[in-house]
Amino acid sequence: MTATPINSANAIDAAAFVVLFNRPFTEKEETKLLALKETFKDELPDFSRTTKVTFKHETGKPPEHVVKESGLKLQKFEPSGKIGWVVNVIENQLVVTCQSYDRWDKVWGQTDRYVQAALKHLDLDSLSIQACVLQFVDRFTEKNTSYNIHEVFDKKTPYLTSKAAAAEKLWHVHQGWFDEKSADEKILNVLNLGTNEDTGKIITTIDHSLQLQFSKPKMAKKFFDAKKEYAKAFLFLHESNKNVVKSLLNQRQRKAVGLV
């Protein structure tokens, strides 16, 4: 086998966790959220504010653009220079990204710490949850001179087109679909597959995003209470991703990444 996962125990290059609220955070909430800089100064030492550009229109005057600080970013760089963790507060979203993935339990525990810390600065009584999003990016590498699409993918996977399967080393397939979880919940899947060349190697990427949408928004205070519903939502998305990846990979790669 020439194609190998990018890590020894898995192929995950990045994982992102997103909670989408029903409204943008207020100025008061954003001010309170700045306390996260001090809370995580040792483990997420790189801090920055994000900006929002709006346009002000007045009759008889040209549009005036207004730049305003809105949101924040906390991140940690690994000794290699690669970003390890990022916490973003953007408009109406909490986003936690891990680019040093190890095991689900460990990564979820750390993600939950960051989310719970942010929640302390939000008015949960006036917020509801519209969606939860989980995204995984898996990568495999093989030598440029010996590319074979089935070194990574199962010949019977339903997610490859016949055209892609017959292509040479560079190709891509982008697709999306909905799964029904319940009468009030559905999952939007976006699955992007493809390859690129990098320093004499072919990189195969599996980018799978799952958005659990609530037709009836969940009240935030109840959703996060004791973390039961919130944790179950992301665990369900995690298991759904594993099922898709299992059906993509051939038997050797499933074994290599622990999906047997």
Please say if the pLDDT value at position 70 is more than 80.
Answer: no
Taking residues 195-207, report their average pLDDT: 94
| pLDDT reported for residue 50 | 84
**What is the chain's length?**
260
Measuring CA to CA, which residue among 208, 203, 210 is closest to residue 139? 203
| pLDDT reported for residue 57 | 64
Measuring CA to CA, which residue among 147, 150, 104, 103 is closest to residue 249? 150
CA dist 160 and 144 (Å) reads: 21
Percent of the chain at pLDDT > 90 equals 81
Q: What is the pLDDT of residues 28-50, one digit of tens each?
A: 999 999 999 999 999 999 999 98
Taking residues 117-144, report their average pLDDT: 96
Please say if the pLDDT value at position 149 is more than 80.
Answer: yes
Q: Which helix (H) or strand (E) holds 197?
A: strand 185-198
> What pTM was computed for the model?
0.92
| Residue type at 216 in one-letter notation | K
Taking residues 10-23, report their average pLDDT: 97
Please give the mean pLDDT across all residues of the chain: 92
Give the number of other Cβ atoms within 10 Å of residue 55's Cβ: 8
Please say if the pLDDT value at position 66 is more than 90.
Answer: no
Taking residues 70-81, report their average pLDDT: 91
Give the number of other Cβ atoms within 10 Å of residue 63's Cβ: 9
- The model's confidence at residue 81, banded by pLDDT at 50, 70 and 90, is confident
| pLDDT reported for residue 2 | 83
Structural contact between residues 161 and 152, judged by C-beta atoms closer than 8 angstroms = no
| Residue type at 179 in one-letter notation | D
| pLDDT reported for residue 80 | 86
Q: What is the pLDDT of residues 153-188, one digit of tens each?
A: 999 999 999 999 999 899 999 999 999 999 899 999
Please say if the pLDDT value at position 245 is more than 80.
Answer: yes
CA dist 214 and 142 (Å) reads: 40
| pLDDT reported for residue 56 | 62
Residue 249 φ then ψ, to 5°: -85, 150
